[in-house]
Structure 1
Amino acid sequence: MKGFRSTRRAMLKQGAALAVGTALLAGGVASSGAALAAGQTAKGKSVQYVTFGLQFEYQVAMVDGIRKKAKDAGINLQMIDGKGDPNLQVTQALDAVSKKPDALLIDPVDAKLITAGVKRANENNIPVFMMENPPPEGKYEALVEFDNAAAGAMGADVLAKMVDYKGTVIEVRGSVGSEQAQARHTGFMDRMKAKYPNIQVKSLNTEWIADNAYKMVLDAMSQNPDIKGVFSHNDEMVRGVVSALRQTGKLVPPGKPGHIYIVGLDGTPLALSRIRGGTQDASIGQDPIAMGGNILDAVIADFEGKPFPKSTSIEPVLITKANVDDPKLWGNFGKKK
């Protein structure tokens, strides 16, 4: 799946709203071995879609966008809730292949484990399309991903500035087996080590879960009451971080002495509300509408026998109080004016 890389801006629609994503296209264009004759449409084709998990606001937005686009194209989409469980996803992927769909779409929790499902689809000549977390083995036709390393580095830059480039901060991590979480961690830590030597980082393996973040941040705060900031690998875990700060009496409003800065990631509607209210200082936005739109475009193009990008990467966007009401942010879609 490798080749030359080029860049472009990707603009996608959801209803009447425009979702703007900066895309890095890699590997040129492709068309699978199952490509159909010219003039063939996607209407009536079937897609089995194994999601990451519907307990995450970001993932719900992505699924809703994919479902709508599939419906508009006349595709029969079967959505399967991965529930954030990598072992369950493997079973789901194998079961999805047994249904003989025209394509398989997967957003893996663990890329290594999902390889079994990808290879089974390959054996059955079912084209596979991947989101966010590509498998190390097996063939897939197209991939859409988020530049997680750049997002981690952006999180380090903004948090370092907020804490005045010194002190101790917490990193609230996603799943250890997740490529996304590892890239965010690497981007964050590499930037901190390279540019901010006076900042110490305490990393907590909270597995994407808000309850875990609450318990572990609560414990970290009791051990080190001088913590100045938090970087969370997703906005969902910020709920737990805020609860821990409230429990310890450290949920101080912005601009007041003792305020602990919080930077999340995803740009969810709840995160944007917290930024407006002052309980969260920033979020690194990734656009699920752009991601879902890109991968469905590839699926549709494959059904129609047309070329499509092998790889698309959505770039991160910094969200603060200064731009939190920008209507182009996916977290503001559907927000009443």
Structure 2
Amino acid sequence: MNKHTPRVVTAALAVGSLAALTACSGAGASSSDTFVGMSSPVLAQEGQKYMSEGFAAATQELGWDSQVYDANLSADTQFSNIQTMVDRQASAVAAWALDDGAIAGAYANASASDIPVIGINSAGSNVTTSVWWEVNTCNSGGVVEQLADTFAEAKPGGKIAVVGGPPVPSIVALTQCFVDAATAAGLTIVSQQDNTQDTSAGASALAQDMLSANPEIEGFWTYNDASALGVSSVLTGSGRSIYSPSNRDGLVVTGVNGDASAISAVRSGTLSATVDTDPVCSGWAVAGAMRDAQDGTPPEEYVVASSIVDGATIADYVEPAERTCSLDDLPLVG
């Protein structure tokens, strides 16, 4: 990303009611010549709320009007979100694609109107540039391989269960990335199921079935924190314990997103690890990608650094609302 004089704004300024964010920048009279929009896959998810707040704060600093739309896990709704932005003659649009094919037409309409399209953890035809969480890039030596190594170090040659999620391209790719990394690390995947409900309760039910069929399971990798907590509740409820630096006999259970509940669970020893995706600064990165696309200088991708939060690193964890983000000094990889 181009480096200018850093304009540092504390992320805490971004944290507030999501309803207020969308209402202040929504369908009312515009205070700016520039309107931009973002379609979130599901705003009920904590990380998506933080990303939306970061996006709103960054666009406010740029002097733009903005709105965040909630697709609520519906590809049809997401198509409508993007088309609404196009009809509003947005200066740029962004979306975490739930279905590349389903929104291809809306992306094409944006491109035909010379509107830059920013993919969030997604790419595809007519996408100008993409903003990725590092955990979703599957780079050699990256966070997913590090997670696989965590399992392998805790349970050498261990038998692992994998809980994937809804058939969203980024989730499918992330899950396969871990399966490949785990296999390369000498682990055996004895069971793999998808939590299509995208809830803790759904993951709990899957975990019970997996353990009944494979009582020798030594760990669970899950695609998000809600699933990890659902698995953890089943294990602890059945008298099993969770792996941590102080309890190496427990089952390894990991999630992704760095939700507050998962961070608390790592602290209490009821979750082995989660991945901090830095959602607030990711929202700033989306706005930065929009700015650079309008300037005609966007790189192919922006990768926001992720980190593993476990029993060894939890003492260094900084809450999202206490982080500092800047449009010109973002936590990018590479």
TM category (shorter chain) comes to 0.7 to 0.9
1:309 match: secondary structure: coil
Please point out which of 142, 150, 153 is paired with 2:145.
153
Counterpart of 1:185 in structure 2 is: 175
In 2: Cα distance, 1:65 partner to 1:160 partner: 35
Q: Secondary structure at the residue paired with 1:83? A: coil
Q: Aligned AA for 1:242?
A: S
- Secondary structure of 2:302's counterpart equals strand
**Change beyond 3 A, Cα 1:212–1:53:** same
Quote the offset at 1:246 in angstroms: 3.6
Contact 1:152–1:188 (Cα < 8 Å) also in 2: yes
TM score, norm. by length of structure 2: 0.79
User: Within the alignment, does 1:96 sit opposite 2:85 as a pair?
Assistant: yes
Counterpart of 2:39?
50
2:110 paired with 1:142: no
The reply on whether 1:292 has 2:287 as its aligned counterpart is: no
3-state SS of 1:202 partner: strand
Q: Which residue of 2 aligns with 1:131?
A: 120
Aligned to 1:272: 263
Query: Partners in 1 of 2:175 and 2:11 — Cα distance?
Result: 36
- Report the equivalent of 1:28: none
**1:127 to partner: Cα distance:** 2.1
CA contact (8 A) 1:142 1:295 kept: no
Q: Equivalent residue of 2:316, what SS?
A: coil
- Is it true that 1:170 corresponds to 2:161 in the alignment? yes
- Residue 201 of structure 2 aligns with which residue? 211
Q: State the secondary structure of the residue aligned to 2:225.
A: coil
Aligned mate of 2:238, from 242, 248, 251: 248
Q: State the match for 1:239 in structure 2.
A: 229
Amino acid of the structure 1 residue aligned with 2:57: K
| 1:282 equivalent among 273, 292, 306 | 273
Contact 2:242 2:269 in 1 (8 A): no
Distance 1:301 1:83, change over 3 A: same
Distance 1:131 1:196 in 2: 32
From the superposition, tell whether residues 69 and 332 of structure 1 become closer, same or farther in structure 2 (CA, over 3 Å): closer
Over 3 Å counting, the alpha-carbon distance change for 1:267 and 1:189 in structure 2 is same
Distance in 2 of aligned mates of 1:89 and 1:173 = 22
Give deviations 1:269-308, integer Å, cap 9, x for gaps.
22211110000111222222332222211222344x3633
Q: CA deviation at 1:211?
A: 2.4
Q: Tell me, in whole angstroms, the C-alpha distance in 2 between the residues paired with 1:60 and 1:219.
A: 32
Q: Deviations over 1:113-147 (max 9, x none)?
A: 22121012122332222211112x2x232211123
Question: Of 37, 42, 50, which aligns to 1:61?
Answer: 50
The structure richer in helix per residue is: 2
Provide the aligned length of Structure 1 versus Structure 2: 298
State the alpha-carbon separation in 1 of the partners of residues 38 and 106 from structure 2: 12
Q: CA deviation at 1:60?
A: 1.1
In structure 2, the residue matched to 1:73 is 62
Structure 1, unaligned runs of 5 or more: 1-5, 18-41
Percent identity among equivalent residues? 21
Deviation, structure 1 residue 12? 9.1
SS of residue matched to 1:216: helix
In proportion to residue count, which structure has more strand? 1
